[in-house]
């Protein structure tokens, strides 16, 4: 039975008093109604408190709390990383002519080529050299180093020599080492898209979005190995995504990657797909392909994402590209929306620093030819409270 509002109940109660004719009846009746009234008030507030305690924390209030850090007119940004010191780096892939810089550090509202301009001045058609960025897709700050992933595949027309990772010392800006993938670790059409550094196992894990598969780099021996090549878990499920009724026709394989180093688990996800997979990282380099395949877990059905990242509490962040959202999956497996709306336009890559989630809006589905008048942004939003 639905409870009456308290004011209604009081009005009814007063009317009841008026109808009482004798003092004796009045005393008996008033005691009965007082008991009922008190009971009703207790139930009312009890139900109210219970509803409040069971309510879900709302993230919709964060729609207006996206903070824009930087904007880039005519330069399509994809990767972002924030070092422990707070230094911010972004990168611009060479998907077209006219890319002014491959890697930039953002400081005091100024954009400075990293590590210097010489590394950034290669143009399509120039001679290949070892000390210039050709086609950078991702930047990852780890400890005191910046890992810069160069696909060596400008315009998606094929790998020119070999994909590699340049590792720079953040104090000196000097090149510390170059990690070059073995020929058996990539294909001529590979687009090595992103990476995660595993200090615990002394490995780097990379994802290939053009030719489905993962690549492991052994930092101790300098060896590389390709796994799950053309496997169903790394292969795209779809050949398109749907943006408000408009199809974006493209097949993008394994793209998102996230590392849970504490629990020894690597997550990965195709971009045009809706399944999140994981594999344990312990002795992954040494295991046979059959052993690796037997260890794969289907973690969840999710929206179609690009990049992914884990926070310190085990929440896994990813974009819902088709619906202009950023979502996260809690340790308990519940999927929640962090933010949605006009401030989220293909949230491409994530980084976490000082309880903020940094993300780039690469607007990939909106690009159709000339981008000189388009603006791409770097933003941040505060992380939710731990659960």
Instruction: Tell the CATH superfamily of the 68-382 domain.
Output: TolB, C-terminal domain (2.120.10.30)
Structure tokens at 242: 């749907």
> d(Cα 362, Cα 348) in Å, to the nearest integer?
6
DSSP 8-state symbol, 385: P
Among candidates 153, 143, 180, which has minimal Cα distance to 164? 180
**pTM for the structure as a whole:** 0.84
Q: CB atoms < 10 A from the CB of 24, how many? A: 9
CA-based R_g, the chain, Å: 28
3-state secondary structure of 241: strand
Rounded CA-CA distance 159/189 in Å is: 6
Question: Coil, strand or helix: which one is 357?
Answer: strand
What pLDDT score was predicted for residue 43? 33
pLDDT in tens, 199-215: 999 999 999 999 999 99
8 A C-beta contact, residue 152 and residue 162: yes
Report the distance separating Cα 83 and Cα 351, nearest Å.
Answer: 9
Mean pLDDT by 10 residues, the chain (387 residues): 38 40 38 38 34 35 80 98 98 97 96 98 96 98 98 98 98 98 98 98 98 97 97 98 97 98 97 98 97 98 98 97 98 96 98 98 96 98 86
For the chain, the distance separating the N- and C-terminal CA atoms, rounded to the nearest angstrom, is 35
DSSP 76-120: ----EEE-TT--EEEE---SSS----SEEEEETTEEEESS-SGGG
Residue 149's nearest CA partner among 206, 200, 95, 108 is 206
How many secondary structure helices (H) and strands (E) does the chain include? 3, 26
Is 270 within 8 Å of 252 (Cβ atoms)?
A: yes
Angle in degrees, 0-180, between the axes of helices 6-18 and 23-54, rounded to the nearest 10 = 170
pLDDT for 10-54, tens place per residue?
Answer: 344 444 434 434 333 334 343 344 333 333 333 333 333 332 222
Strands 308-310 and 297-301: unpaired
Q: Which residues contact 213 (CB under 8 A, 6 or more apart)?
A: 226, 227, 228, 229, 230, 231, 234, 253, 254
Query: From CA 329, how far away is CA 300, in angstroms rounded?
Result: 9
């Amino acid at each position: 039975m639905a409870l009456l509002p308290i004011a209604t109940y009081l009005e009814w109660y007063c009317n009841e008093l008026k109808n009482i004719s004798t003092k004796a009846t009045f005393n008996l009746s008033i005691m009965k109604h007082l008991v009922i009234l008190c009971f009703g008030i207790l139930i009312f507030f009890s139900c109210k408190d219970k509803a409040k305690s069971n309510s879900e924390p709302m993230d919709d209030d964060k729609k207006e709390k996206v903070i824009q850090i930087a904007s880039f007119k005519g330069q399509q940004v994809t990767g972002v990383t924030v070092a422990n010191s707070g230094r911010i780096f972004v990168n611009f892939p060479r998907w077209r002519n006219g890319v002014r810089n491959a890697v930039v550090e953002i400081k005091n509202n100024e954009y400075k080529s990293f590590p210097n301009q010489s590394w950034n001045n290669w143009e399509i058609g120039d001679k290949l050299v070892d000390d210039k960025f050709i086609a950078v897709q991702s930047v990852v700050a780890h400890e005191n180093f910046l890992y810069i992933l160069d696909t060596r595949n400008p315009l998606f027309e094929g790998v020119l020599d070999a994909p590699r990772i340049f590792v720079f010392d953040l104090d000196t800006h000097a090149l510390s080492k170059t990690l070059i993938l073995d020929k058996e670790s990539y294909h001529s059409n590979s687009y090595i898209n992103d990476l995660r550094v595993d200090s615990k196992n002394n490995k780097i894990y990379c994802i290939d979005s053009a030719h489905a598969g993962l690549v492991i780099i052994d930092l101790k021996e300098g060896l590389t190995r390709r796994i799950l090549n053309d496997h169903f878990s790394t292969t795209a499920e779809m050949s398109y995504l749907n943006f408000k009724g408009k199809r974006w026709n493209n097949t993008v394989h394994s793209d998102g990657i996230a590392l849970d180093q504490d629990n020894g688990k690597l997550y990965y996800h195709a971009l045009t797909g809706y399944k999140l997979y994981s594999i344990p990282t312990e002795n992954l380099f040494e295991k046979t392909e059959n052993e690796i395949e037997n260890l794969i877990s289907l973690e969840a059905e999710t929206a179609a994402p690009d990049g992914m990242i884990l926070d310190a509490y085990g929440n896994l962040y990813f974009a819902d590209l088709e619906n202009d959202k950023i979502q996260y999956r809690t340790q308990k497996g519940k999927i929640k929306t962090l933010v949605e709306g006009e401030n989220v336009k293909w949230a491409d890559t994530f980084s976490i620093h000082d309880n903020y989630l940094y993300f780039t809006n690469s607007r990939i589905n909106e690009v159709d030819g000339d981008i000189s008048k388009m603006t791409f942004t770097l933003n941040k939003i505060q992380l939710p409270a731990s659960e």
